[in-house]
Amino acid sequence: MYQAFALLESSSVAMGVAAVDRMLKKSPVALLRCGTVHPGRWLSLVGGTVAATEEAHAEGVTVLGESLCDEVCLADPHPALAAAVSGERNAPEGEALGVLETTTSPALLRAVDSALKSVPVGLAELRMADDLGGKAVALIHGLLADVEAALEIAAANGGGAVTGSSLMPRLDDNLRDILAATTRFGGCASWQPEGGEVLEEE
């Protein structure tokens, strides 16, 4: 795991690519992921030692200039956040589920990292921009009081980019199973209660 990582979001694909080039030339960081996301933006994620990542981050911010939508540089990111950024998903556990939504991906990382470091909650999933119209979403689970506190901490550290949150004290078991598989509409399995009415095809 890297000591630090930085995420930059640009409104310009052209400048985003240029920023990645300059960051890699400026500092010995790993390019963890980069590419286009909705709605026509560019995300650049790099990681490495704290010093190297901070240097690359500063260079990227300079290159992006006015095209910079948001950015974050996290030293010692929470292990659960680092795993989620790499694509790890976990089934929601515990008595409560919280959903956090932000306008940018860097804002979500800032918010979730602060929450995970402050309260003993788990991170079920982290989604950044793709298929979300540019928004970013996190699913946080654990004890009710902890999830509630985590959402409050995340909102306070979201830099005004938090657009919504919800708290489900006793998550429906069927919904829990569905969310464990996916949060994407296209991949969602249908569910029907036992004995529920079914419309017959004519």
Model pLDDT for residues 74-97, shown as the tens digit of each residue = 999 999 999 999 889 999 998 999
List, for residues 109-167, the tens digit of each pLDDT value: 999 999 999 999 999 999 998 888 899 999 999 999 999 999 999 999 998 899 999 99
Boundary (domain end) residue, out of 24, 43, 75: 75
- Cα distance between residue 47 and residue 25, in whole Å: 14
User: In the block, which residue shows the tokens 């790890």?
Assistant: 88
Structural domain count of the chain: 2
Q: What is the CATH number of the domain that holds 38?
A: 3.30.70.1710
Domain of 34, in residue numbers: 4-75
pTM: 0.91
Half-sphere exposure of 115 (CA within 13 A, CB side): 33
DSSP-derived pairing of the beta strands 41-48 and 4-10: antiparallel
Residue among 149, 34, 146, 150 at smallest CA distance from 138: 150
